[in-house]
Structure 1
């Protein structure tokens, strides 16, 4: 039993050492690399599926090793938990010892001051040993040392120390790191975020089904999300003549907690929706077209086209799966369906060379919609997910969907008649925006931890712990100095203190400026202790 207890105690000591914490922190950084290199199921499952199709040999092994779910994997969670335990076990004893050191008065003067790194003797006194000790005490207090006078009769001693800021900064740095870990864990467990493209006039209520992409935390119930709604009233973007964007501003209507209203949303000015926040991520154009099929039935849609460059050249698909209902025509595929789709490019400003297929400016100065026509079976009834921004290439490959006629170029208000007698009209464009709605319960803790981490780091670099001792006897005054940390300016500071002690004058606080911020104090404003 005692042997097992010894093994456990030794293991705990190893785990809670600062060296082990640093190793675990390094392992955590290394373990996060696959999550940045490989697609992740929680972020983009379609990219994981695409990777598996393109890499049939390595993908199954990666899946067994949980490399597609790095941040929820057993091995990543184990490193995270061990780092957390290591930091707690390391910091709690250090914090307790530091509090004791702050409360405790400076230690007694060593018997052999000449053995200290800095030493001086032959300092005269005025005959009154107690008054001399008090004068030296005042000298050190003016320099913001924590000082205490001890002794009586023929010997008085003065002990002083300074520089607890270094350990305070160290502890603050590591506790801030612990706060960061807790905040990130809270965000991963109870946070969530969803992305959605909103065309002007579209709305979104906070339910799982209304997001284009939704990533819940491990402890989040997607059916019990907070209730709020928002919609895009309008969007304005302005650009310089060079095409550089000048401003983006969306007008959003919202309803949350029984309140409703409108407000402007910009890139760095998100919309607060109760516990969640909506951020403006991107914008673009959604061509609005009307299609009239063979039966004379008209349908109008506005589909967002995704931008491909900084001049807002956009690509997308306009699909009409309900076109030509009741019409069977084997010309366009074996199923006889005559569904219709258009894919192509939208140019806000047509360049001088029309064949360049790239907009000359992001603003709509001379817009043009360039389309290709497809008819047949769009494959939407197969039950397999597919992108709404591209034509189903599998349907083209098996002959169920065919391109019809040549390309079409339309300005706003223009129309074109297709080979089967149907008609397409380019009515207008609507702006769209991409919004990311996020709830992260740990973001405030992470922010506070990041700020305090920097403060703690600066404090640990600035602090220099050292001690000064005086012994006052009828034969004279002897002084000694001990730097507790590497401090290049300690000799100059010690010599200045000794010089003031020899002169018998009150220090003006400007005789020496210790290197690297030497004027820190373990207990700012702490009272001296007098023991007689």
Structure 2
């Protein structure tokens, strides 16, 4: 029989394992360890990276839609991994909650230990203080009471005994360490409060149109779990004008320099109107609700006349940007009320249209210098708008419906681009499309986050606390009076700070050896 077999037979109780309670204690200690907290903090920061690099549905849904068009397979994987909604994903919430729990497990024991440490007096001086890392002997030094008084003047905590003085300083180092953890916990609480009681919403507004801060007015609305329709601040705004300035010469020609939305705002239904200039980094703030300018584009104005001579549609059509450098945009016009059959148009808007050598046209500049519209295709038939299924305004019809439409103008039959004021007649007397003008649109993100200011305060506290934790040293000074000789010794309790303490210790010795009239 082997030695291990004999050990098993002689001590069978030891093979029972940790048990359920033991495993729970082990899991809790592992979760609340500093190493685990740092790993979770790193994972939280790492998990935020995709939220900055990959377009988010809550911030820029147009880019998400464009990514689906350009790389549908990649977009599908992003969606499966919840990378289009990183900060509301289940995996990000799991990291957040684990970090929150870990910090609570770190902070509470540290706070209790720190409270006991504050009540603890400095230890008694050793018998031979000259053997400490820093030591000095003063002939004809101060008395015991005078040494204690001078050390208190240097803001040391002082305890006296029979022929000795013990002083300690640097408790703020532990205070900074504790407050840093408290600040991290506060940041997580602030983020959690913003998720519960805050909301975000996106809306597209065309020049001349308005917006009321109601749930029904949003194109996309993402409320916290504790948000109701009555929680929204009842302000309204109207986009009077939108201007964009571009670089007109040099290597950066066409680069946008400034965006300005000229708004008329009513803070409440009874409040007087006021004029506001909305810029990219200057949000409109009303009672804690912030409105950001996050995008812009063109909305050419069209008039559709059906086969019976009736105006079936008239108004601006927001276009989806296809090329950011030139603001070439794709537009879809739908006329569901056209008779005898519904009409639909696929168009491309060119802000500054120029002819190319092959006879086609393209936009050479993002500004509105020579706006024209290319008619890519005209269709008639049932667009599927009345079957109860939602449709995108940037899509003419679902693929199964699009196959059933009758093409009226396609390919080489499409006329040259239309300038403002020009029109195209549809074959067979089906109707007419007129290009009557150009407006601009802007996309807004309206956000209310009650945790925003607390998060800023706790972030500032974290910076100050970690600076205090790194810069302040915990140190002790001991004094023994032996007749006319005063022995002084000192040491630091912070690893790696002995060199910095040497100069401070020399200054302490000077204060202790100074005459009565030299000491304030």
State if a TM-score over 0.5 links the two structures. yes
Deviation string, structure 1 residues 73-112 (Cα, Å, up to 9, x no partner): 6665454333223212321332344355456654432334
Counterparts in 2 of 1:279 and 1:507: CA distance versus 1, 3 Å:
farther
1:261 aligns with 2:264: no
Whole-Å separation in 2 of the counterparts to 1:401 and 1:469: 98
Tell me which of 487, 494, 500 is aligned to 2:505.
494
Tell me which of 418, 422, 432 is aligned to 2:426.
418
Instruction: Give the aligned partner of residue 469 of structure 1.
Output: 478
1:315 aligns with 2:330: yes
Contact 1:372 / 1:408 at 8 angstroms: preserved in 2? no
1:150 aligns with 2:154: no
Whole-Å separation in 2 of the counterparts to 1:412 and 1:297: 21
Deviates most, 30-39 or 314-323: 30-39
Counterparts in 2 of 1:457 and 1:479: CA distance versus 1, 3 Å:
same
1:305 aligns with 2:319: yes
Following superposition of structure 1 onto structure 2, how do residues 178-257 of structure 1 map, counting pairs within 5 Å? 178-222=185-229, 225-242=232-249, 243-257=254-268
Whole-Å separation in 1 of the counterparts to 2:408 and 2:219: 28
Counterparts in 2 of 1:206 and 1:240: CA distance versus 1, 3 Å:
same
Deviation string, structure 1 residues 310-337 (Cα, Å, up to 9, x no partner): 33222221222211x2x2xxxxxxxxxx
1:406 aligns with 2:409: no
Instruction: Give the aligned partner of residue 519 of structure 1.
Output: none
User: What TM-score, normalized by structure 2, do the two folds share?
Assistant: 0.80
Following superposition of structure 1 onto structure 2, how do residues 86-485 of structure 1 map, counting pairs within 5 Å? 86-99=102-115, 101-102=117-118, 106-121=122-137, 123-125=138-140, 129-130=143-144, 133=147, 137-138=149-150, 140=151, 144-148=154-158, 150-151=160-161, 155=163, 157-222=164-229, 225-242=232-249, 243-257=254-268, 258-262=270-274, 263-298=276-311, 299-307=313-321, 308-323=323-338, 325=339, 327=340, 338-351=341-354, 353=356, 357-377=361-381, 378-392=383-397, 394=399, 398-402=403-407, 404=409, 405-421=413-429, 422-474=431-483, 476-485=485-494
Counterparts in 2 of 1:72 and 1:349: CA distance versus 1, 3 Å:
closer
Counterparts in 2 of 1:71 and 1:287: CA distance versus 1, 3 Å:
closer
In the TM superposition, residue 499 of structure 1 has moved relative to its aligned partner by 5.2
In the TM superposition, residue 130 of structure 1 has moved relative to its aligned partner by 3.9
More helix by share: 2
Whole-Å separation in 2 of the counterparts to 1:397 and 1:431: 29
User: What TM-score, normalized by structure 1, do the two folds share?
Assistant: 0.78
Counterparts in 2 of 1:11 and 1:505: CA distance versus 1, 3 Å:
farther
Counterparts in 2 of 1:71 and 1:423: CA distance versus 1, 3 Å:
closer
Contact 2:58 / 2:200 at 8 angstroms: preserved in 1? no
Contact 2:58 / 2:201 at 8 angstroms: preserved in 1? no
Whole-Å separation in 1 of the counterparts to 2:147 and 2:355: 91
Counterparts in 2 of 1:40 and 1:315: CA distance versus 1, 3 Å:
closer
Say what the alpha-carbon RMSD is for the aligned residues.
3.8
In the TM superposition, residue 181 of structure 1 has moved relative to its aligned partner by 0.8
Instruction: Give the aligned partner of residue 526 of structure 1.
Output: none
Whole-Å separation in 1 of the counterparts to 2:106 and 2:159: 35
2:417 aligns to what SS in structure 1? strand
Which segments of 5 or more consecutive residues in structure 1 lack a partner in the other structure?
328-337, 510-532
Counterparts in 2 of 1:410 and 1:398: CA distance versus 1, 3 Å:
closer
State how many pairs are aligned. 483
Contact 1:208 / 1:223 at 8 angstroms: preserved in 2? no
Whole-Å separation in 1 of the counterparts to 2:360 and 2:474: 69
Counterparts in 2 of 1:199 and 1:394: CA distance versus 1, 3 Å:
same
Whole-Å separation in 1 of the counterparts to 2:204 and 2:440: 10
Whole-Å separation in 2 of the counterparts to 1:296 and 1:255: 41
Q: Highest relative contact order (Cα 8 Å, sep 6+), 1 or 2?
A: 1
Whole-Å separation in 1 of the counterparts to 2:94 and 2:172: 34
Counterparts in 2 of 1:376 and 1:88: CA distance versus 1, 3 Å:
same
Counterparts in 2 of 1:441 and 1:410: CA distance versus 1, 3 Å:
same
In the TM superposition, residue 454 of structure 1 has moved relative to its aligned partner by 2.0
